[in-house]
Structure 1
Amino acid sequence: MSGAPSATADEPVAGALQRQFAAAAERYGVPPGVLLGVSYLQSRWDGHAGAPSVTGGYGPMHLTDAVTALAEAPHHSEGGEDARGDEARGPRTAGPARGPSAAELPPRLRTLERAAELSGRSPEELRTGTAANIEGGAALLAAAQREAGLPASADPADWYGAVARYSGADDAATAAAYADDVFDVIRTGAARTTDGGQAVTLAAEPSLVPAKAQLRALGLRAPAKGPVECPRTVACEWIPAPYAEFGDGDYGNHDLGDRPSSQSIDYIVIHDTEASWDTTLKLVQDPTYVSWQYSLRSSDGHVAQHLALKDVGWHAGNWFVNAKSVGLEHEGFLTSPDSWYTEAMYRSSARLVRYLAGRYGIPLDRLHILGHDNVPGTVTSSIRGMHTDPGPYWDWAHYFRLLGRPITPSAGPDAGVVTIRPEYEGNRPVYTGCATAGAACAPHGSGAVRLHTAPSADAPLVKDIGLRPGGQDSTVDVNDTGARASTGQSFAVAERRGGWTAIWYLGQKAWFHDPREARTAVDARGTVLTPKEGLESVPVYGRAYPEASAYPAGVPVQAVSPLPYRLLAGQRYVVGGSTLGEYFFAPTFDPTGHTVVRGQERYYEIQFGHRVAFVKATDVRVSRA
């Protein structure tokens, strides 16, 4: 898709995009604020260079044409990790998910066809041209207003039902949550410069009160009722994952637990499904598959809960993390580099994460809000198979702004710790392997920076001996995390030189470009650790398991196996917190045999590389940076 026509080709001068919204609104009789508000919630007015979203939506209005997107984009699932990540039972791998056929696609993934009929614009124009795309979206809104028997009013308040219909949701709660978000944008206003360099403004209308009673006339279903654990600000339904036994001592697809009474919940793990919504729901309801707590739909931010939060899902590939985390799967069957997530899903996800963090006291930082690609392998043999979603194109900076924790400097210049924060749209490192091995991916904004062995873009990338035991250099492949630091991650500074900053990373000094006039990191406060005096190096672990003496009779001792890395004397790493060694023994379907083993050995979690790691407290000393 890197050869797709530019969706910004018809925006040659400043103000063009703003005028395109105004012209489309006038042509179809849609209030400009409504058209701008809907577009903001879909794409934040970005054109994404004509590339589809993770659910096949094109352009600022996110007109969906998943048939075309499916035909053009590859499907793959990197890694072969055991999603459960516990040697006490056989491996449970998820494997690649089958993408939907064209016949299986619901109407919400085919809105571009309808927009073409209504606007007279060709599908190609709607996919690649912003003016046509905006007209298509305006035509859909106008049609929804007509079909509801309502006039084309100039008052945005009269368009609540049409906006709810635009979401594509088939249940009333999700449609209402989507419309409420749109009207919240209209009330508060918005302004930004798009990915095409266009400045767009939506003036605030603080006194706007939409006609919410219109929702009842849409005839949408009520969501499936059940014991959902969601904030009121998201539309959430209960679609349970099965807890079923199916012979030879095997069962699925999760474990019953009693969290947080039995174990604390310390992490939230962000995933990308690499499957359509309908396929995702089928998979999580298969007892032979794997499981997670929540799925989020890209088109409208709808949430489905599958497991009670007290139970343990099989999602992260690391049993220690699984036992102490909540997994959120974000819909995305397209793993192309230039695919993108809707604002609706980012907002819904952020609200859910804020709720979970508040409920369990989880810090809103990148040592506790993890990507699946930040979860460490449990032992050396599992490192290479660990998954790499949501990858370098997830906008962590925007996500943390929505979480209410924007990534800003917390220390003065030349601090001992930095937090990675490149400017997302302008940061476009070259990646390869998105569609074909070795082929360059389409240019796209990224929240990651690349790490070199010296302060030069020509210097080799740092090595990851866990991914490449033979000592080969890391690569720029989109799934290679060996020389990558991601937005929000904090590292101890090793050196600064000539517009470059070095951090301690995987036991080595790693450099990234960080010029003062265009910083890609911010100075930060933090707690760091280093090996105790007299120790040349200390081992690093992928899980924090108890010492052997802590295990009661009948529970097999789990090996405390170090990873192949070493934390060397003089190096420092940012600390995320500490925990006593803990192991959740759950090898049987009957939960009466489950046991939580706790030891006396204390571990610190650290930002060691792209993935987090653990070190024993007895091996290190801790100080302020």
Structure 2
Amino acid sequence: MRPARLLAMVAVASLALGAASAVAEPLGSQRQQAYTDAGIEFGVPASVLLGVSYMESRWDANAGTPSTAAGYGPMHLTDVTTANAGGSKFEAAGGDARGDDARPMLAPPAAATPVTAVPQLQTVDLAATLTGADKATLRADPAQNIRGGAALLAKYQKDLGIASTNPADWYGAVARYSGSDDSTTAASFADDVFSTITQGVDRVTDDGQHVTLQPAAVQPNTAQLGKLGLRGNAPGAECPANLGCDWVPAGYGQFKNTYGNHDLGDRPASQKIDYIVIHDTEGQWDGVLDSIKKIDNPSSWQYSIRSSDGHVAQHVQAKDVAWQAGNWYVNSKSIGIEHEGFAAAQGKWYTESLYRSSSRLVRYLAAKYQVPLNRQHIIGHDNVPGITPPLVHLMHWDPGPYWDWTHYFDLLGAPVRPTGNSFTGMVTIRPDYDTNQPAFTGCTVSGDGKPCVPHGSGSVILHTEPRQDAPLLLDAGLHTDGGPTTMDVSDHGSRVETGQQYAVADQSGSWTAIWYLGQKGWFYNPHHSVGLGAMGLVVTPKPGKATIPVYGRAYPEASAYPAGVPVQALAPLQYTFAAGQRYVLGGPAPAEYYYAVTFDTPSHTVVKGTTKYLEIQFGHRVMFVNAADVNIWPSFLCGA
């Protein structure tokens, strides 16, 4: 059956969706009162205070842990000297960012430069002076944190020489609160705050506080931005007009007997851009920008996003191929975006400013290069497959289980929603981020076994049987010694993430099993509230095939390579796709190999084959199968 016909069958299928889960009752209203009280005390309109706090933290307390920009509490008061005491680098996996075994791997990059305590990363000091509260209290006590934020806003307003209780007259103070040094980023932050005020928000926070910002039409005085003396954007970056974005070029040149740190290309004319890869930097902003400029750095990426204010720097043009994902096939067909932050270190969380800037950039890039806004094409570095069996365990695992994919896809305008029901044969993973808090370990030092600070997560843990105390699944690629999967924060061998889709394998009471790395993986799914009913296309081995290989890249057949271009071996990975199993189809994957192993571009060649591959969600990472090995079916015809 042809895929087009199958898609038509899926489109016309009429299946009732399950009822929505009930919303839990809010647990407290103290935070709402804290905003009201602080606004009165410091003369800040409550709507402005609520709007700024929502943009900083979505009113969450984050259990007193700092953000990746060293910000604490609902108002994101920054204290970099405390947040980074004891070190700021959480070591990720090793491996080769280029991911092309046709070229020798270069030496790994040096550790990132430690962050310095610039004023925008140390606002807790001024807040302490203005409120009389000590810094430890301002960091840990949400009500005092809100007082500190209100005091800062009042100070910024006073510095502008404006005395008004009209929210429209607070645009300049709000823009300054962003901490940005460029006018576009500061304006973007302020515009988001006033858009939030206009639209209104009603939310239960991560610690059970019910907070409401009633909608109110406000036309802010945007002319105040000019009084802040901020710089404009450095020219040259490929970014949407409403995004603060500079061109900070990656190093590119020859050294010794090689070159770095990316390859020139001609995309999308030469190769379609199919993926956008989400990374985190595992280092601070200044060090990241310093490293990308070095030609001997064996890694590169297209964009970096600053955590404190969402400012963007572009380093590699979209037409060129960055060395970012550890898989040359994915690199040659993707754009990589690094987000200042840490996948797990010390429980740090990603800021709202970072999420919003990233979503604006991704929407722009996805529209320009026709990349679908789904989890088959907007992927984490942790979803990129290894290229050969020995390299699977060296692949990175960022942005990690604390990246909020649900919120991110809401901001992208492509929310994660049910598209089927319990009989349609597929699920889309979507736990409640705030209340879903897996018991991870090793957030300070991977593998130390110490419990992580409880925190919301988009990760769902899989078990071998439908019970919480059952063992985790095995991942032969991650645990090459045959050892068990663990709850270490970096070990995703038995873990699924928000937005990913899987074929249903079984059902038992409130438990659902999916096909995952050749095994049945069970997760707790009461009322289908964690694995939402979904409908789409799945693949299964053709009759007569007991097992079929899965691959980490989709390279052409040997006959497609021209003279002078070495044939690239296509080694199956160490996993088994057996008869009777089903995996969700992500889409076609063209057979391509970009031959680029020299500084001079005339020898660069895109080899295109006739073999047809398909991308599937095989485990935590996407993988590829030869289309000739499988049949494609609507998921509801293969339901459990």
Q: TM-score range by the shorter chain?
A: over 0.9
Pair 1:438 & 2:446 matched: no
Q: 1:95, CA displacement in angstroms?
A: 4.4
Q: Distance in 2 between matches of 1:454 and 1:93?
A: 43
What secondary structure does 1:540 align onto? coil
Within the candidate set 151, 157, 161, 1:149 is matched to 161
- 1:432-511 to structure 2, matched below 5 A, reads 432-436=441-445, 437-511=448-522
Structure 1, unmatched stretches of 5+, are 1-11
Q: Which one of the candidate residues 286, 300, 306 is aligned to 2:315?
A: 306
Aligned partner of 1:594 in structure 2 is 604
Distance, in Å, in 2 between the alignment partners of 1:489 and 1:257 is 31
Rounded to whole Å, the distance in 2 between the matches of 1:96 and 1:185 is 41
1:579 counterpart (584, 589, 609): 589
What SS does the corresponding residue of 1:618 show, helix, strand or coil? helix
Asked whether 1:22 is paired with 2:36, we answer: yes
1:64-85 CA distances to partner (integer Å, 9 max, x unpaired)? 1011010156522221010000
Deviation string 1:67-120 (CA, Å, 9 cap, x unpaired) is: 10101565222210100000121214654633515xx23221111111111111
RMSD: 1.4
Is the 8 Å Cα contact of residues 388 and 479 (structure 1) preserved in structure 2?
A: yes
* Separation in 1, partners of 2:308, 2:419: 35
Q: Structure 1, residues 157-190: CA drift from partner, whole Å, max 9, x if none? A: 1111111111110111111111111111111111
The one-letter code sitting in structure 2 at the alignment partner of 1:549 is S
- The CA deviation at 1:221 is 1.1
Confirm or deny that 1:381 pairs with 2:395: no
Bigger mean CA deviation after superposition, 89-98 or 131-140:
89-98
Deviation sequence 1:511-543 (CA, Å, 0-9, x none): 111121x62110001110011100000001000
Aligned counterparts of 1:73 and 1:492: Cα–Cα separation in 2? 42
Q: Give runs of ≥4 in structure 1 deviating > 4 Å.
A: 93-96
Specify whether residues 443 and 519 from structure 1 end up closer, same or farther in structure 2 by C-alpha distance, changes over 3 A only.
same
1:121 to 90, 109, 133: 133
Offset at residue 470 of structure 1 (A): 3.4
Aligned-partner Cα distance in 1 for 2:27–2:620: 40
User: Where does residue 206 of structure 2 map in the other structure?
Assistant: 195
Deviation string 1:3-38 (CA, Å, 9 cap, x unpaired) is xxxxxxxxx973210110011111111111111000
Conserved 8 A contact 1:80-1:95: no
Check the 8 A contact 1:81/1:93 in 2, yes or no. Answer: no
- In structure 2, give the amino acid aligned to 1:321: V
Shift of 1:333: 5.2
Q: Deviations over 1:273-330 (max 9, x none)?
A: 1111111111111111121111111111111111111001111000000000000101
| Alpha-carbon separation, structure 1, partners of 2:319 and 2:88 | 36
Residue 85 (str. 1) matches residue 99 (str. 2): yes
Q: Distance in 2 between matches of 1:410 and 1:140?
A: 45
Contact kept in structure 2, 1:97 and 1:274, CA below 8 Å: no
Look up the equivalent residue of 2:223 and give its one-letter code. A
The answer (yes or no) to whether the contact 1:83–1:93 under 8 Å persists in 2 is: no
- Are the counterparts in 2 of residues 70 and 334 from structure 1 also a CA contact under 8 Å? no
User: Any residues of structure 2 matched to 1:482-561 within 5 Å, and which?
Assistant: 482-516=493-527, 519-561=529-571
Using the TM superposition, give the Cα deviation of residue 223 of structure 1 relative to its aligned residue in structure 2, in angstroms. 1.8
Code of the residue aligned with 1:520 in structure 2: it is V
2:10 corresponds to: none
Cα distance change on mapping 1:575 and 1:596 into 2, 3 Å: same
Give the structure 2 partner of residue 64 of structure 1. 78
Aligned to 1:9: none
The answer to whether 1:619 aligns with 2:633 is no
Contact 1:574 1:606 in 2 (8 A): yes
Aligned counterparts of 1:92 and 1:149: Cα–Cα separation in 2 = 55
Alignment-mate amino acid for residue 513 of structure 1: Y
Could you tell me how far apart the structure 1 residues matched to 2:110 and 2:31 are?
39
Structure 1 residues 334 and 389 mapped into 2: Cα distance closer, same or farther (>3 Å)? closer
In structure 2, the residue matched to 1:34 is 48
C-alpha contact (below 8 Å) 1:271/1:329 kept by paired residues = yes
SS at match of 1:541: coil
Q: Could you state the TM-score of these two structures normalised by the residue count of structure 1?
A: 0.95
Letter in 2 for 1:229: E
After the TM superposition, which residues 362-381 of structure 1 pair with which residues of structure 2 at under 5 Å, given as runs?
Answer: 362-381=371-390
Structure 2 counterpart of 1:35, one-letter code: L
Task: Measure the CA separation in 2 of the matches of 1:93 and 1:355.
Answer: 34
* Structure 1 match to 2:367: 358
**2-structure distance, mates of 1:463, 1:493:** 19
Unaligned runs of 5+ in 2: 1-25, 636-640
Question: Equivalents in 2 of 1:161, 1:191: separation in Å?
Answer: 25
| Distance in 1, Cα, partners of 2:471 & 2:343 | 31
**CA spacing shift, 1:96–1:427, aligned 2, 3 Å:** farther
Q: Which amino acid aligns with 1:268?
A: I
Contact 1:74 1:334 in 2 (8 A): no
Secondary structure in 1 matching 2:575: strand
CA distance in 2, matches of 1:118, 1:74: 29
1:197, 1:92 → 2: CA distance?
A: 49
Please give the alpha-carbon distance, in whole angstroms, between the structure 1 residues aligned to 2:132 and 2:123.
14
8 Å contact from structure 1 (residues 318, 378) kept in 2: yes
Cα separation, 2, equivalents of 1:121 and 1:304: 36
- Report the equivalent of 2:13: none
1:278 — aligned with what? 286
* Range moving further from structure 2, 343-352 or 88-97: 88-97
What letter corresponds to residue 586 of structure 2 in structure 1?
G
Q: Name the structure 2 match of 1:608.
A: 618
Q: Distance in 2 between matches of 1:92 and 1:127?
A: 42
1:172 maps to a residue whose letter is: S
User: In the aligned structure 2, how far is the partner of 1:334 from the partner of 1:298?
Assistant: 13
**1:464-507 per-position Cα deviation (integer Å, ceiling 9, x unaligned):** 01112333221111000100000000000000002111100001
Give the residue type in structure 2 aligned to 1:140.
L
Taking structure 1 as reference, are residues 551 and 180 closer, same or farther at Cα in structure 2, changes over 3 Å only?
Answer: same
> What amino acid does structure 2 have at the position aligned with 1:327?
G
In structure 1, the partner of 2:20 is none
Q: What amino acid does structure 1 have at the position aligned with 2:266?
A: D
Q: Is the 8 A contact 2:179 2:309 kept in 1?
A: yes
Q: Which amino acid aligns with 2:587?
A: G
Q: Residue 423 of structure 1 corresponds to which residue in structure 2? A: 432
- Taking structure 2 as the reference length, the TM-score comes to 0.93
Conservation of the 8 A alpha-carbon contact between 1:76 and 1:335: yes
* Cα shift readout 1:342-391 (whole Å, capped 9, x = no counterpart): 11111111111111111111111111000000000000111111000000
Where do residues 36-435 of structure 1 align in structure 2 (5 Å cutoff)? 36-72=50-86, 75-92=89-106, 94-95=108-109, 97-101=111-115, 104-151=116-163, 153-206=164-217, 208-226=218-236, 228-248=237-257, 250-289=258-297, 290-332=299-341, 335-336=344-345, 338-435=347-444
Q: 1:335 to 1:468 in 2, by over 3 A?
A: closer
